[in-house]
Copies of this chain bind each other. A is one copy, B any other.
Amino acid sequence: MQEKPIDARAEEILKKVIVNYILTGEPVGSRTIAKLSREGLSPASIRNVMADLEEMGFLAQPHTSAGRVPTDKGYRYYVDGLLDPFRLAPRDRALIDESLSRVASEFGEAIEIIPKLLSRLSSQVGYVITPPIRDAVLKHIEFVRLHERRVLCVFVDRSGVVSHRIIEVGEEYAQADLDRAGRYLVEEFAGLVLGEIRSRLVALMAQEKAAFDVLLRNAINLGTLYLNAEQDERRLVLEGTANIMKHPEFADMDTMRRLFETFEEKHHLVKLLDRCLDASGVRVVIGSETDDPALGSLALVASPYQVDQRSAGVVGLLGPTRMEYQRAVALVDYISRLLSSLLTSPPH
């Protein structure tokens, strides 16, 4: 950022190299660029520029006598300033509109469909990450006695997402008590965010009324037990991981295996995606910028989506650094906007 030593011509050439490389997957040489350029520059001149670009770290050569290939830094520059505007094909748009309109505002369903959609339309890996439970809005909560000390807690979010967890309780509850406690919590706190509910429960607990009212005490107990655990937990849904194998740059089984292991773990990915939560629009993370060696030659296109104007989760896709960024960005942008509007405006 401090130095921006690229003049218009170099920029032009860098862009041509990258576009060409994305298209063909093969290192591109000066001759190729010369032919493409209507400016009529000779290969030799272009070689000079390319040598400069290499020196500055935007391009690299796989070996001495090969053409140039973009580096992560090169892609970065390209994505930040050289992207051609791109409009989604009307049929793609229509497909998205139609698929998403069917799930209406039920986030629980959207979450299954969106990654598939992204994956299909991009031939890459699509994903959605849900908001943390902390931000879920209580619609319904229910406690079910499994045996003595184990209680299943089922939670339903306003947008129809169901999550559940088993909690270990200190004393034994009858199912009827559990029912009452659940109903109490719903009546009292429906419409509030879980984080908020949690702090209110803590406040209630301090009041002396809680010591005498059994119903209240139970509700507080169960509620806090449920709310205390893993409030940051988010669900990540990946779809189309097999698509990664279409790309020749992953011929090596070993890196491929490590890649799929991180797919299975999800843990790292979630952490990575968190970084994209606060972005204001589509964000692209390229190769080494991920700080994860297993994702070395992958790029991530991510956009946060909003629920009621608040940034909630992230949707996007994942593919080789050599991907059609314009298309990917347009796609992710469109879907995230649509999703946000579905989750925000409609009557709940």
Contacts and interface: CB of A to CB of B under 8 A. Distances in A.
Contact of A162 (B139, B164, B251, B261): B164
A87 interface: no
A160 B105 CA distance: 28
Interface in A291-347: 347
A109 B147 contact: no
A294 to B, nearest CB: 11
A23 B348 CA distance: 61
Contacts of A139: 144
A162 B156 contact: no
State the main secondary structure of chain A at its contact with B.
mixed
A78 to B, nearest CB: 28
Contacts of A72: none
Interface string A228-264: 0000000000011110011000110100110011011
Contacts of A156: 144, 152, 154
Interface residues of A, number: 36
Contacts of A150: 104, 106, 160
Nearest to A261: B242
A140 interface: yes
A146 interface: yes
A69 B205 CA distance: 71
A108 interface: yes
A289 interface: no
B166 A142 contact: no
Interface of A: 104-106, 108-109, 139-140, 142, 144, 146-147, 150, 152, 154, 156, 160, 162, 164, 166, 239-242, 245-246, 250-251, 253, 256-257, 260-261, 263-264, 347-348
26 contacts: A105-B147, A106-B150, A108-B152, A109-B166, A140-B144, A142-B142, A144-B156, A147-B348, A152-B156, A154-B154, A154-B156, A154-B162, A160-B166, A162-B162, A239-B264, A241-B264, A242-B257, A242-B260, A242-B261, A242-B263, A242-B264, A245-B257, A245-B260, A246-B257, A250-B253, A251-B253
